[in-house]
Chains A and B, each alone.
Chain A
Amino acid sequence: MSNEIEETMKRIQSHKGVVGTIVVNSEGIPIKSTLDNTTTVQYSGLISSLADKARSVVRDLDPSNDLTFLRIRSKKHEIMVAPDKEFILIVIQNPTE
């Protein structure tokens, strides 16, 4: 099981344009990361709170709704966040233009 996960994550990392991948748990602790520690910590802290806020927005507007995916596109790259109750998967990619 864990091998498969390892493979999947390696595959994600090897896609074109992907800069880094981070897995954060609900406490905000980065479980797995391909970036250096300082960046990882920054990303995990900031992105977790943002994902929480986004989820609360979606649920406030319609309680039967829930956040499935969050994409933040900036000038330099795109941060994609796949949230879950316990973990958050963050991928930073340079989209091809």
Chain B
Amino acid sequence: MDLTFPYEKKRSEFGKQCMFNDRGPELIDSCPSSLRVSVDFIRRNPVNTGVQNSKIQAEHEINTYRAEYSNALMNHVEGGWPKDVNIADEEQTKRYRRKVEKDESYAHIMQQLCKNMENCILQNNAINIYQQYYTDVEPTPLTEPCTARTVNVFQDQSSLKRPVTNMSWSPDGGSRVIVCHCNLVYQANIQSKHHHSYVWELENPNTPQMILNPPTQSVCIEYNQKDQNSLVSGQYNGQVAVWDVRRGNEPVDFSVMECSHRDPVNSILWINSKSGTEFFSGSTDGTLKWWDTRKMKDPLETLILDASKSEEQSISNALGCSILEYEHTIPTRFMVGTENGYVISCNRKGKAPNEKMMARYHTHYGPVLALQRNAAFVKNFLTVGDWTARIWSEDCKESAIMWTSYHKARLSDGAWSPTRYSVFYTARSDGILDVWDLLQDQHAATIGVKISDEPLTKLKTNEGGRLICVGNQIGTTYIIEFSDNLSYSNKNDKALLTAIFERETRREKILEARNREIRLKQRTARSSTQLAEEQVDTDDTSFEDPNVVAAEQEFFAIIERETKVEEEEEEEEEGQENLELLQGFDTEDEVKP
């Protein structure tokens, strides 16, 4: 489309002043739209246009003036000689040196420096100031004061407070404790809702992690050290129960009443076996029974604790078992503590009963309440009963090798520390827990911690060695933590402890040998006099002890005397009565008018 618009102006009017005036718009030309052209065009839909609405920015770099560094090395052989002095020339260097020496300040400065220097030289000559003293002496370990602190307290959750009878730490590093309560008063009336035992987590003393609810009370309970979910418990009515914590709070299986014990089960322990499911239990009725958790209908084996040397073992002669001991490193042997103070060391593999019960130790005047071998010295074991704790060696059968003095309160339980081999704990019935360390003091307890006002009944050590749980008569369980010097052994401890035990064992053996000699001498002396007296002595064989005979005679003499006096008194009274009766007739006549 061509459009031109010529604009004319006369030459004579060039440069003339412009006269402006209003003029309306004039249409010069218009080109209407024609559809013919539209064929050459394509409609564009949609139309993409970019729109930006922001500040206009520009990038620009500047840098300040920087110092240029370059690394250069210089090999400096000899001092900063000034340029005019040739180093090689000795004459010049000498001259330069002399010049420096002549300098005024040289003398002054040198005087000062020499004075200081001389001081130090003489010091060095006098004494070696850097001498190390005591280099070959080992630093002695600082003696830490022994401390114990109560970490946590767990209360018996039932309304009727029952004493704690046994506790067991869970095998997973001891994060949980299971506590069983039982009222051991003979034939006490206990309702069924008070049969609970509790699994506590150490951090949470408010609620037990789990409440175990057996149909009868549990007297003792143990975790299986290899499997932390299975437990066995001995019940008050003589049965044993198997639990699995995953299956709930009722026992999984029970032993049959007919084959179980007839008295409360005092102690129950897992033993080493291929299947890991065997355990044995001991009770006051004098029998030990071995069980397998998979087959609870029958015990695997029964042993009657009849210590007499007769052929037949009978339950009427049996001694009640109060505590059992089993060390996993000696799988076929175990020990039984009885209620009359004997400890019997037994071998499971023996065929006849007297082979099974190998050795007997007369330990205490009452039931043996605790029996444990030392973890490092398995030949030595600790027994606790009546008012003392005694340490025995398997070799010395007549007496203990070490013992504590008689306490004012009865001791109820004791245990060795599993980590520090010279430490053992005893629980007393005045609420005090004593810690004994054989390496520190053998005559008195290292520390005694007053835990509660009620008597303490049981204690159990954690396998880590720092914690110990203690239970008391009203059902409260305390977790106590001890300081390092009571929990960890030093390097020499084992050697020192071996020396202590050996020394005591040797002393006891010597005494034993001496006693045996004396007895032998007495026996030979007696047998020679017996031969002489045999004709005289007929059938009075029951008591030969002269003291007893004399006491008997005295006793009977006194009795005869008393009876004679009584008879005389009676006769006198009768006589008096007769007289009164006779007199009474007279008086009656007088009274009656």
A residues with CB within 8 A of B? 1-2, 4-5, 8-9, 11-12, 15-18, 23-25, 27-32, 41, 44-45, 68-69, 71, 73, 78, 80, 82, 84, 86-87, 89, 91, 93, 95-97
| Residue from B113, B117, B122, B131 in contact with A87 in the complex, judged by beta carbons closer than 8 Å | B113
20 A-B Cβ contacts within 8 A?
A4-B107, A5-B107, A8-B110, A8-B111, A15-B122, A17-B121, A17-B124, A27-B79, A28-B76, A28-B80, A31-B100, A32-B101, A45-B79, A71-B120, A78-B124, A80-B117, A95-B125, A96-B124, A97-B128, A97-B131
| B61 in contact (CB, < 8 A) | no
Q: Assuming A18-B121, A28-B79, A31-B101, what are 11 further A-B pairs, CB within 8 angstroms?
A: A8-B114, A9-B114, A16-B125, A28-B80, A29-B79, A29-B100, A31-B100, A82-B116, A87-B113, A89-B113, A95-B128
Report the minimal beta-carbon distance from A57 to chain B, rounded to whole angstroms: 20
The number of residue pairs between A and B whose CB atoms lie closer than 8 Å in the complex comes to 99
Main secondary structure of the interface of A (DSSP, over half): mixed
On chain A, the residues within 8 Å of B121 by CB distance are 12, 15, 17-18, 80, 91, 93
Q: A2-B107, A89-B114 are in contact. Are A25 and B124 (CB under 8 A)?
A: no
Q: A29-B80, A29-B81, A32-B97 are in contact. Are A87 and B110 (CB under 8 A)?
A: yes
On chain A, the residues within 8 Å of B77 by CB distance are 41
| B5 in contact (CB, < 8 A) | no
In chain B, residues 85-130, which have Cβ atoms closer than 8 Å to a Cβ of chain A?
Answer: 96-97, 100-102, 105-107, 109-114, 116-118, 120-122, 124-125, 128, 130
Report the minimal beta-carbon distance from A37 to chain B, rounded to whole angstroms: 9
Closest to A15 in B: B121
Q: A1-B107, A73-B130, A78-B124 are in contact. Are A84 and B80 (CB under 8 A)?
A: no
On chain A, the residues within 8 Å of B111 by CB distance are 4-5, 8
Closest to B116 in A: A82
Closest to B112 in A: A84
On chain B, the residues within 8 Å of A86 by CB distance are 105, 109
User: Lowest 4 A-B CB distances belong to which pairs?
Assistant: A27-B80, A29-B79, A28-B79, A82-B113
| Docked pose: A86 CA to B111 CA in angstroms | 13
Report the minimal beta-carbon distance from A28 to chain B, rounded to whole angstroms: 4
Report the minimal beta-carbon distance from A7 to chain B, rounded to whole angstroms: 10
On chain A, the residues within 8 Å of B110 by CB distance are 5, 8-9, 23, 87, 89
Q: A2-B101, A44-B79, A45-B76 are in contact. Are A95 and B120 (CB under 8 A)?
A: no
Report the minimal beta-carbon distance from B445 to chain A, rounded to whole angstroms: 52
Contact A89 B117, beta carbon cutoff 8 Å: yes
Contact A30 B106, beta carbon cutoff 8 Å: no
